[in-house]
Amino acid sequence: MKRKNLGQHLLIDEALLNKMAEFADISKKDTVFEFGSGTGNLTEILCNRAKKVISYEIDDRLYEIAKSRLSNFKNLNLINEDALKSKDNFNKLVSNIPYSKSSEFIEWLSKKDFDVAIVTLQKEFAEKLLSQPGSKHYRAISVIARSNFDIEPLMIVGGEAFKPKPRVTSFVLSLKPKQNRIDDSIIPYIKSLFSFRGKKAINAIKIICKKERKDYRKIFNKLGSEILQKRVEKLSIEESVRIAKELYNL
C-alpha cells in the first residue's frame, strides 16, 4: 500500500533552508535528524554540513525522489518510515514539521536527548507553543512544550517559501531541552485537564477523578483554594503540571 505524506508543504526556499542550518550551527561533529525528507531540499544542505544525517520520509513517492537525488551522500541514512517511531540518537534536529503531526512531534521530541531543534511550524501551532496562560491559544500542548523546552521564535516565513503554497504563514522556532523535563506519565493528565477549558480546576479534577474512581478530596487538601478556583485556561505552567502530578499519584 502506498503511504502518503500527511499534510506537508515542502520547503523550497534555498535561502531559508540554509538559514535553518545556520541557526542550528551544524558542523562536521554533528549527527542531525530530519523529520520528513520531502524531495531532499533541506536534506542535501544538512548532508553537506553534518557528520551524519538521519532523515525519515513516510511518503513512498517523495522517498524515492530523495533517494535518487541524494544517492551520492555517504553520510546519509535515509529511511522510508514514520519518524515518530524512530529511536535514533542525534544531537541536533532541523525539520519542516507537517501540521497534522505537530503535536505528536512535540511529545516525541520531549523524550529525546539533544542539543537544539530548529523547526518550521505553521503559525497557528507555533502560537500555541509560545502562548501565555489565559490567552486564546493556551492549550495542553503549551504546557507540555514549555515544561520541556526553552522556545525562541527566530523568524516568520511566508507561504511563498513552500510548495504547494499554503494560505497561512509559518514560524521558525528554536527548541532547547530544559534540564528538568516533565515525566511522560503525567502528559495524559495535562491533556485531560485542558479538555475542560472554561471550567474551574476544582470541577475538572472532580470529573477526571470520578472517571478513574479516584478520591479527589485528597488532591483538594494539597492544592488549596486559590488553584482550585482558577479556570483551567488560567492555570500557570507550574500549576498545571502540579495538578497533573497529583492526579497521577493518586
Residues 157 and 202 in one domain: no
Q: How far is 229 from 178, CA to CA, in rounded Å?
A: 30
Domain shared by 86 and 200, yes or no? no
Instruction: Give yes or no for residue 20 having a pLDDT over 70.
Output: yes
- Pair 171, 65 in one domain: yes
Domain boundary residue, one of 177, 206, 232: 177
Q: Using CA atoms, how far apart are residues 111 and 51, in angstroms rounded to an integer?
A: 23
Predicted confidence at residue 22, as pLDDT, reads 96
Neighbour-count burial for 219-229, b at 16+ CB within 10 Å, e otherwise: bbeebeeebbe
pLDDT 10s digits, 190-232: 999 999 999 999 999 999 999 999 888 888 989 989 999 999 9
Q: What pTM did the predictor assign? A: 0.91
- The tally of domains found in the chain comes to 2
Same domain, yes or no: 199 and 173: no
1: pLDDT confidence band, cut at 50, 70 and 90? very low
For position 8, what pLDDT does the model report?
A: 66
152 within some domain: yes
Same domain? For 124 and 219 the reply is no
Q: How many CA atoms lie within 13 A of 96 on its CB side?
A: 28
Least confident stretch, 6-20, 30-44, 92-106, 234-248: 6-20
Domain that residue 101 falls in: 10-177
